[in-house]
Amino acid sequence: MKAKQLISAVTLTFMQAALICWLMLAPFAWILRDGMGPESVETQGLTAVLRALTTFHWGPIFLALAAASWLFKARAPLPDPGWERRWAIIGAVGVLTVAVSFILMSGTIYGS
């Protein structure tokens, strides 16, 4: 494998792992879109979707990651076609990292 192919594969793998991790943030953006506590308001319809997309700048960052991943995949010199299965390992590590961080955060917040 040439150096350019290796760099392209690693970069695309991390981009796709970041995309998966960012996608996992979507439910939290949806829950937090209207605020928490007594000042919270309830939104519905298109307003709710737009507020969820702008919570944590979720929508624009997701679109930028997806576009960059797609463009990079279309333009980069990638190795053999079977390399894509390897990014699943990085995605799994990303999922575990997010899960462990939430467990640690909940312990910090609720004082276990």
pLDDT of residue 75: 77
Residues 6+ apart with CB under 8 A from 36: none
Closest by CA position to 87, among listed 16, 8, 1: 16
pLDDT in tens, the chain (112 residues): 577 777 777 777 778 778 887 887 778 777 777 777 777 788 888 888 888 888 778 788 888 888 888 887 777 766 666 666 666 676 677 777 777 777 777 666 565 5
Residues 6+ apart with CB under 8 A from 48: 33, 34
Place of tokens 């937090």: 32
Query: Structure pTM?
Result: 0.59
Dist CA 84 CA 109 (whole Å): 38
